[in-house]
Structure 1
Amino acid sequence: MTDSAFDQMMRGAWYDGRDPALEALRATARRAMHAHRSLPPETRGAMAPDLKALLGSVGPDCFIEAPFHASYGCNIHLGAGVYLNAGVTILDSAAVTVGDRTMIGPAAQIYCADHHRDPAHRSAGIERGLPVTIGAQVWIGGAAVILPGVTIGDGAIIAAGAVVTRDVAAGAMARGTPARPAYQSP
């Protein structure tokens, strides 16, 4: 018996990203995000009910500004008091865990999708998902990009526009492309 593409994705194996069952999950996610984006803010509140139900887990007092985009939603786990500003994109083909009281700036992007290096496999839609873990009380500046497999420690700061290609230690500041440790004043 072979695993489904969803099972392969969930365990971090290479899978066919064009699988019809995965496309159906992405369509469900698009509908939930459309509802979130379309509801008046006073009706939507912190997040539309369809979006909240889609996400893997949501701590109390989380707030997601519209628009918001996720591939599946089910792999996103938000701690208490997490704030996602307008235009955040999370491509969650693996677990994305965001710790308590973390703030993610406008147009920030978190990518789990890792496409195959072999052009023939890549053109056939073969990919895998690598988890992204973001600690508690992290501040990610606007338009920052977090790449697959990265862990950002508690209290870290990611400068606006940074491209994070490797882990960032707790309490560190990273900036640039690719992001490098930077002096952080108290």
Structure 2
Amino acid sequence: MSDHEEVLARIRQGAFYTESEASFQNGQRRADLVFEYNRTPPGEAGRRRELLEAILGSVGARTVLLPPFHAGFGSNVHIGDDFFGNVNLTFVDDVEIRIGHGVMIAPSVTLTTTGHPIHPGLREDFRRFSEPIVIEDKVWIGSNVVVLPGVRIGYGAVIGAGSVVSRDIPAMTVAVGVPCRVARPITDEDLKARTFPAA
């Protein structure tokens, strides 16, 4: 096994690795294209689409991603159809972020696949670990939410504004808080309401 393969194996296992060890992946970063996307005039929808297809690992139909957005790589992000991402969406995509169909994300949300050791003695050379994030279909994520490494958010879930999501969220639930916890299920009663009844 080559050194690169050994590092990739550790990354896939969620084990620690350093910036120097992972530097061979830097060619997959799309920083210049992200910069160009964020400076593209609103009327140039075709150019924005062309850039998104070059930046992201995959992108579905009818995708709206309002600039500015930020990505460590971009190439590790996969977005389904009918996606809406509001301004200041940040992808810390050292490993894959998979977003399903019909997902809506409000302003200033961070999806981070990467964390760092607690003990400062382990943080030299930006040592870190990475675990993929999965956001299933029809999820709505409120403003200023942070989704942490390894989290899966289930179908149709709603994440309340300002939440820090550190564990999986079941399908068809409303979840809020720091740390984010399930407040209640989503039911047919919600078809009648504009706002959420008290939990």
TM over 0.5: yes
Counterpart in the other structure of 1:16: 18
Structure 1 gaps, min length 5: none
Between the aligned residues of both structures, percent identity stands at 33
Structure 2 gaps, min length 5: 191-199
Kindly state the Cα deviation for residue 43 of structure 1 after the two structures are TM-superposed.
Answer: 1.1
Q: TM-score, normalised by structure 2?
A: 0.84
Task: Supply the distance in 2 between the matched residues of 1:42 and 1:161 (Cα, whole angstroms).
Answer: 32
Cα pair distance change 1:10/1:82, threshold 3 Å: farther
User: Across the two proteins, how many residue pairs are aligned to each other?
Assistant: 184
**Larger displacement relative to structure 2 (46-55 or 94-103):** 46-55
Kindly state the Cα deviation for residue 177 of structure 1 after the two structures are TM-superposed.
Answer: 0.7
Counterpart in the other structure of 1:82: 83
Counterpart in the other structure of 2:139: 138
The answer on whether the counterparts of 2:28 and 2:75 sit within 8 Å (CA) in structure 1 is no
Counterpart in the other structure of 1:106: 107
1:34 aligned counterpart, secondary structure: helix
Kindly state the Cα deviation for residue 125 of structure 1 after the two structures are TM-superposed.
Answer: 1.6
Cα pair distance change 1:157/1:148, threshold 3 Å: same
Task: Supply the distance in 2 between the matched residues of 1:88 and 1:6 (Cα, whole angstroms).
Answer: 28
Cα RMSD, aligned residues only:
2.1
**Letter of the structure 2 residue corresponding to residue 14 of structure 1:** F
**Letter of the structure 2 residue corresponding to residue 111 of structure 1:** T
- Structure with the bigger percentage of helix: 2
Cα pair distance change 1:100/1:106, threshold 3 Å: same
Task: Supply the distance in 2 between the matched residues of 1:44 and 1:14 (Cα, whole angstroms).
Answer: 40
Q: TM-score, normalised by structure 1?
A: 0.89
Equivalent runs, 1:38-117 vs 2, <5 Å = 38-45=39-46, 47-117=48-118
Counterpart in the other structure of 2:156: 155
Counterpart in the other structure of 1:176: 177
Kindly state the Cα deviation for residue 4 of structure 1 after the two structures are TM-superposed.
Answer: 5.6
Counterpart in the other structure of 2:126: 125
Task: Supply the distance in 1 between the matched residues of 2:39 and 2:3 (Cα, whole angstroms).
Answer: 40
